[in-house]
Chain A
């Protein structure tokens, strides 16, 4: 029996949930702290860093898409805002990324509110279509106004030597620790939102917008608040990406693939859970990096092909994602029939 039917009334016990969450948090923290011991190669470290980066962004997407079912297909816009703000401030005005990244986050919040006020009037499908259009508009504008953005040539950060105050480190492990810190921050934000009044309001909107409104929830304000937090988290990811990869162009910034990946990790991990999206990224990013290394040339499309299939299969068979499945598994072990 698939659990895609009516939502089951059996909710995993609170004790079970807490225990699983605590166990996972400990495992995660241990894995992060011990990284220098088991991450031997630079390639593995790069993957671990990307895991944390995409985990952060997927958690950010989920605040709006997962908690409230407001599906954005254009979240890469906030990634782009974060990346370009940091990059341009550094290149044109020698502003340190330590300030540039927060600036990008603030700008993304403003952009998010500007996008949100008109598009949140649109229900379901229309919101997804509207955000998809914004992605394309951003791509066209950033390609066209090349005097500001470098156009298709993109932005490349100058060689800066190893200056920590300019976000440039000698040892790649520092990038990893910063990304890991970012993801822990995103996890905390994700948990805080889920357990707060905002989280309850978002879930009420997801279950039934009309009923939520009748219950006195200000729909626009609730969605805008979630979008602001979501945009800031994704923009932080964008700013970090700029510093880590040191290059951005319109096609990689306003990429549909980036938007889809954020959602994909969240859906596979579990959109109703505060840690599901991070779990999804931990599983899929390494897979994606290794396959893209193995499959080159004519075989390269097989990687994305597999993700598309995985997405469809998960939606059809396990729409609640791995997180819910793990919790149920735990519950079954815990409360074994006597």
Chain B
């Protein structure tokens, strides 16, 4: 019973992991940049939703669209100023530019808002919905639904619009894309904005069941990378599936293990995935089948 409940909770949390990781993998796929500051953009989304609630009485789920857009705009600016100059630089510069960004954003938030936990109370925060013999917290359910909608919209954007196709073309082969008249720098700007905007949006939708604080990004960073590496760096569909899987694994492992060890399982899977299947588990399964 506890296992069944944990499984469902894990799926719901995993949906949000999937959304954040899709943003990360999109940036990697298009730009070949690992963004170590992705968790901090999630944190900014949470604080935007928190202040939307406190100042204007907006529900975090309503504010999430605005939070996503603001973080998108911030991402575009950051891409111009910090990422664009190092796009062809050696790994040292690439890694530490985004690591520096993450240090700046989390400490700026700490200076501005303090290190206290910031949470909101929503009418559905304590409600749970009976579902096939289990109880699903409504806040988890709503966050999952929002994440699913956002991920579907992104999928449609990448597959059904010209801009989306141009972005995928840039990811596949930058030189060929340039020859077809695509401006890769515009694509980079858009991809980075979208990637972090999704994290900002996700931060807002999870606020009803968690709390915002400046260092929360570091809580998510390795989980996001586990998802991205499991799904194959750069694969949107892989990130979606792996996100759900990691949510379930994390949630189910609490049934068997001490709470402190909850993330250990995830990180061990991460290292194992890095070492055994660096191309992503999904890809290698597909290759073997073919």
Contacts and interface: CB of A to CB of B under 8 A. Distances in A.
A140 B263 CA distance: 8
Nearest to A137: B267
A256 B97 CA distance: 16
B267 A73 contact: no
Contact of B274 (A122, A312, A316): A122
Contacts of A73: 95, 99
A315 B100 contact: yes
Given A73-B99, A267-B92, A305-B103, A141 B264 contact: yes
**Size class of the B contact interface (CB-based, 8 Å):** 35 or more
Interface residues of A: mostly helix, strand, loop or mixed?
Answer: helix
Nearest to A2: B85
A324 to B, nearest CB: 14
A302 B274 contact: no
Interface stretch (A20-28, A102-110, A124-132, A229-237): A124-132
Contact of B89 (A71, A119, A256, A319): A319
B91 A143 contact: no
Interface string B91-132: 111011101111110011011001000000000000000000
A308 B101 contact: yes
Nearest to B28: A125
B82 interface: yes
A147 B13 CA distance: 33
Contacts of B17: none
Contacts of B270: 129, 133
B229 interface: yes
Considering residues A69, A132, A308, A316, which has the most beta carbons from chain B within 10 angstroms of its beta carbon?
A: A308
Nearest to B110: A301
A181 B65 CA distance: 58
B261 interface: yes
Contacts of B99: 73, 260, 311
Interface string A305-336: 10111011001100100000000000000000
B268 interface: yes
Interface in B200-239: 214, 218, 221-222, 225-226, 229, 233
Nearest to A134: B271
B104 A308 contact: yes
Interface residues of A, number: 47
Contacts of B261: 140, 144
A315 B96 contact: yes
B34 A308 contact: no
A119 B258 contact: no
Interface string B259-275: 01101100110110011
A281 B117 CA distance: 34
A223 to B, nearest CB: 14
B92 A65 contact: yes
A118 B96 contact: no
Given A140-B263, A144-B258, A144-B260, A133 B101 contact: no
Considering residues B111, B221, B263, which has the most beta carbons from chain A within 10 angstroms of its beta carbon?
A: B111
A136 B222 contact: yes
B95 A309 contact: no
B112 to A, nearest CB: 9
